[in-house]
Amino acid sequence: MGYPKLSADVRGKGKLGSLALRSALRSGIGPVIVVTKAGPVPDWLAEIEGEHQTEAYTRVESPNAELGMAHSIRAGYAQASRGQLRGIVILLADMPLVTAEMIRDLADRYEAEPHLDFVAYRQGGLPLPPVLLASSMFPHLRHLEGDAGARRLLQDPRFCGAFLQAETELSLADLDTEEDWALMPWS
């Protein structure tokens, strides 16, 4: 897009990168781990620090974030695995219309069906974040490669999962292009 999109202002709502994080914090599931590139605190995260106590989340730097989402997932998992978690939710910072309710819906479905390996959203036949990965998936996170994230695991027949439908297709919009931005309600 030619500029750091997560730092882009969203009319009256703050910076793009902060919107999904606000939803994660409001969802009530936790702990919340924010994975960023190595370096100074991004401005969109600093914006959140002004609203919440910094104990509300943990920031983890991914020194190889530019090599693909798999590196960021592994960095977040390394932090999360220090606790006794039954699952983790992967949420992307450039998906501003994901709500706290959508995140809670993942957790509620998993609570209702604890045998599941994952719960994810699906659109057009493809699994999309946010996604909840149960602890049964944790050993496989260390082997992720590239920018596909955990999608390959969600399509693996060895794993039992459930898919949720978002209320609207726009709810799962991933803002990667100017065309994506033009579809947003604030445009």
Q: Mean pLDDT over residues 132-155, rounded?
A: 86
**Is residue 1 predicted with pLDDT exceeding 70?**
no
Q: How high is the pLDDT of residue 124?
A: 86
Integer Cα distance of 88 and 134 in angstroms:
7
The yes or no reply on domain 5-182 and CATH 3.90.550.10 is: yes
Which range, 43-57, 59-73, 110-124, 171-185, has the best average confidence (pLDDT)?
110-124
pLDDT tens, 8-63?
888 878 899 999 999 999 999 888 999 999 999 999 998 887 676 556 788 999 98
To the question of pTM greater than 0.95 for the whole model, the response is no
Integer Cα distance of 103 and 49 in angstroms:
21
In 3D space, the residue among 127, 132, 144 whose CA is nearest the CA of residue 90 turns out to be 132
User: How many beta carbons lie within 10 A of that of residue 101, not counting itself?
Assistant: 12
**Domain segments of the chain as ranges:** 5-182
